Each structure stands twice: as structure tokens, then as C-alpha cells.
């Protein structure tokens, strides 16, 4: 019995070894093929650039703290064939897929929904997927050179990727979720909101957590504890929601009128200017300031 088991075990081990060795061979083959393909992609890109009527030069910030020799920040330039409707994100993806697969940037939805590709493009915070290259041109003709950098005032993780933790911490600080004084009694009963109230908070609900506003804000740059425009907008979204009730609103006002809250804002409008969802951030901050003053007024 034990001899049989040993034979079976040996057979199984051999099968596993064979499978591993086949997989390794396949993996090596795939890696070689990928290398060949990568060279092919670069040649293809060069041909496409020669054939293209118009090209765009991307001057891209590069930095890789984990690779010796790439730890000094630098700019790399990639020439990309331009076509109508091409976005900054399309161009970056072309550069990554054809020239340098180590070029690192975040993206996901490609339709201004996920908020992951906020970048500093030609000196302004923009979403890569929402920014048409054609809109970046100076006067007439193609845009020429487009400079792409990571969002200012954040630590760079690699190339165009920044550490978003501080931004998320500030959002978390305002409790960005619905809390009400009064839940409906019945299990399936809806908690209705009036049309007027929905209209009032509509714009504030559009935030996609991209951090473009925070990156553009001079106050946030100088005060690491400042909640920042996105977090204050999130507080507005709930404080103004009639379904939360008065005591919740009061609690939310107390959070945003703290030392590093609404009163830090100097109405510079930079956040409002760069917000890709057109949220009137400065207006919301001002309205919360008024609400905070009203809630603190006492009449004897």
C-alpha cells in the first residue's frame, strides 16, 4: 500500500515538474515575443509619425524612486501622431504602448467619471481623458509641444502618479456619507427629497475625487491641515441635504468651521476654475461660511 502511494506521489511530482517547466518555457517565450512586439511597436510608431499629417510632442515628467539612475526627475519627449478627437490620455497611452512601457500614469473610465487621471497639463490641472489636444494649441494649427506633469503639491510615487492619501484623509474627515436624524419607519419606505432641494445640491454631488481643486489651491499648499475645496464641497453636499435633519446639519457645520476649515478659504477661485465637473466650489464654500455665521448668532 505504502509502495503504491510513493509511486503515485512520485508520478504526481513528475507531472507537476513537467507542468512547471512547460509553463516556464511558455512564460519565457511570451516575454521574448513581447520584446519582439515591443520593438515592432516602436518601429510602427516611427512609421506612423512619418506618415502622419500632424504630430504632437509630449514632454512628460519622469521619476522612478525605485530604479537607480532614474531617481533624478527629468522630462522625456515622445512624438505622437495626432488625429482629430485625440485626448491627452490617448496620447499618453500611445507613448506608453509604442515607446516606453514603463511610463506610469493612472486612468480607468476614459470618460471623466473615475477621477483617476487628473494631471498638470501645460501649467493647469486637467483630466487627461477630458482634455482634447486640439484645445491646447496656442493660436492656429496643432498644439506642438504639450507638457505633462503630476499634480503639484502632492508627493510623486512614480512618473505622473501622485500619492492621494492626504486628499482621501481630508475627504474622510468630513464624513462623506449620508447620516440622518430620522430614518423612515417602514423597511421599504423611501426617504424623499424635494425637487428644489435636489436642484440645490445637484452640482455638489458631481465630485469625482480627482483632487484637481486641492492641487490648485494656494491655501492647501501652505496649510497641510486645511480641509480643502473638495472636502468642504462634500460637507456642503450633506449639510444642505434636507433629509439629514437639523442636528446633523449643525454637527457638519461644526466640522467645517474648525480652524482649518471654511475660514481658511480666501476666495481665489482657482479650485472653481480647474474643477472638471464645473462645481461652483468657491460659491459653496461661501455659502457654508454664511450658514456657520447664522448658526452661531444668538439673539437675547
Please give the residues from 213 up to 252 whose contact with ligand SF4 meets the rule CB under 6 A: 213, 229-230, 233
Residue the block writes with cell 436642484: 199
Q: How far apart are CA 49 and CA 58, in angstroms?
A: 13
User: Are 219 and 266 spatial neighbours (Cβ–Cβ below 8 Å)?
Assistant: yes
- Which residues 89-108 are close enough to bind ligand FES by CB under 6 A? 107-108
Burial label, 80 (beta-carbon count in 10 A; 0-12, 13-18, 19+): buried
Measured from the CB atom, is 59 or 110 closer to ligand FES? 110
Enumerate residues 6+ apart whose C-beta is below 8 A from 42.
98, 99
Which residue number, 2 or 111, has a Cβ lying nearer to ligand SF4?
Answer: 111
Q: Which three cell numbers stand for residue 221?
A: 499648499
Reading the block at residue 293, the C-alpha cell is: 455665521
Instruction: Take residue 94 and report the three cell numbers written for it.
Output: 500611445
With contacts defined by CB under 6 A, name the span among 29-37, 127-135, 141-149, 236-244 that binds ligand FES: 127-135
Handedness of CA 218, 224, 226, 227 (dihedral sign): positive
Which one of 119, 121, 129, 136 is in contact with ligand FES (CB under 6 A)?
Answer: 129
230 binds, among ligand FES, ligand SF4, none (CB under 5 to 8 A by kind): ligand SF4
180-219: contacts with ligand FES (CB under 6 A)? none
Kindly tell me which of 56 and 235 has the beta carbon lying closer to ligand SF4: 235
Query: Per CB under 6 A, which region of 17-25, 54-62, 122-130, 224-232 contacts ligand FES?
Result: 122-130
CB of 112 to ligand FES, least distance (A): 5
Q: CA torsion sign, 194 to 236 to 126 to 157? A: negative
Q: Taking a C-beta distance cutoff of 8 angstroms, is the pair 89, 107 a contact?
A: yes
C-beta of 252: minimal distance to ligand FES in Å?
27
Q: How far is the CB of 127 from ligand FES (least distance, A)?
A: 5
Contacted by 112, from ligand SF4, ligand FES, none: CB < 5 to 8 Å by type: ligand FES
Of 92 and 156, which CB lies nearer to ligand FES in the complex structure?
Answer: 92
Site of grid cell 509641444: 145
Angle between helical axes of 246-256 and 229-239 (0-180°, round to 10): 170
> Whose grid coordinates read 525605485?
66
109: nearest Cα among 95, 133, 124, 128? 128
Which window, 64-72, 115-123, 150-158, 172-180, contacts ligand FES (CB under 6 A)?
115-123
> Which range of residues in 55-63, 90-98, 193-201, 277-285 is near ligand SF4 by CB under 6 A?
277-285
Site for ligand SF4 in 194-213 (CB under 6 A): 207-213
Quick check: 153 and 219 in contact, CB under 8 A?
Answer: no
Give yes or no for residue 103 binding ligand SF4 (CB under 6 A). Answer: no
> Considering only CA atoms, which of 175, 149, 160 is closest in space to residue 248?
175
Residue selected from 60, 220, 275, 288 as contacting ligand SF4 according to rule CB under 6 A: 275
Q: Are 134 and 122 spatial neighbours (Cβ–Cβ below 8 Å)?
A: no
Taking the least distance from each CB to ligand FES, the nearer of 80 and 256 is 80
Which positions touch ligand SF4 (CB under 6 A)? 207-213, 229-230, 233, 275-277, 279, 281
Which positions touch ligand FES (CB under 6 A)? 107-110, 112-117, 127-129
Amino acid at each position: 500500500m505504502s509502495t503504491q502511494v510513493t509511486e503515485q506521489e512520485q508520478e504526481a511530482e513528475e507531472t507537476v515538474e513537467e507542468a512547471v517547466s512547460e509553463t516556464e518555457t511558455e512564460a519565457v517565450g511570451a516575454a521574448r515575443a513581447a520584446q519582439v512586439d515591443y520593438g515592432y511597436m516602436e518601429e510602427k510608431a516611427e512609421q506612423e509619425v512619418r506618415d502622419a499629417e500632424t504630430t504632437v510632442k509630449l514632454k512628460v515628467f519622469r521619476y522612478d524612486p525605485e530604479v537607480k539612475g532614474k531617481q533624478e526627475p527629468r522630462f522625456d519627449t515622445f512624438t505622437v501622431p495626432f488625429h482629430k478627437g485625440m485626448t491627452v490620455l490617448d496620447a499618453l497611452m500611445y507613448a506608453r504602448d509604442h515607446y516606453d512601457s514603463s511610463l506610469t500614469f493612472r486612468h480607468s473610465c476614459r470618460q471623466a467619471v473615475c477621477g483617476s487621471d487628473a494631471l498638470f497639463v501645460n501649467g493647469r490641472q486637467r483630466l487627461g481623458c477630458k482634455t482634447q489636444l486640439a484645445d491646447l494649441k496656442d493660436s492656429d494649427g496643432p498644439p506642438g509641444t504639450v507638457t505633462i506633469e503630476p499634480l503639484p503639491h502632492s508627493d510623486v510615487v512614480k512618473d505622473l502618479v501622485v500619492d492621494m492619501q492626504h486628499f482621501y484623509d481630508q475627504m474622510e474627515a468630513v464624513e462623506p456619507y449620508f447620516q440622518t436624524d430620522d430614518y423612515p419607519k417602514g423597511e421599504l419606505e423611501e426617504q424623499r427629497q424635494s425637487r428644489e432641494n435636489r436642484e440645490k445640491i445637484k452640482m455638489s454631488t458631481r465630485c469625482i475625487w480627482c483632487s484637481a481643486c486641492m492641487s490648485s489651491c494656494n491655501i492647501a499648499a501652505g496649510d497641510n491641515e486645511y480641509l480643502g475645496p473638495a472636502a468642504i464641497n462634500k460637507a456642503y453636499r450633506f449639510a444642505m441635504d434636507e433629509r439629514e435633519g437639523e442636528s446633523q446639519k449643525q454637527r457638519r457645520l461644526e466640522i467645517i468651521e474648525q480652524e482649518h476649515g471654511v475660514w481658511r478659504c480666501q476666495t481665489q477661485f482657482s479650485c472653481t476654475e480647474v474643477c472638471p465637473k464645473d462645481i461652483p466650489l468657491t460659491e459653496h464654500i461661501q455659502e457654508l461660511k454664511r450658514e456657520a455665521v447664522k448658526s452661531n448668532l444668538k439673539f437675547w
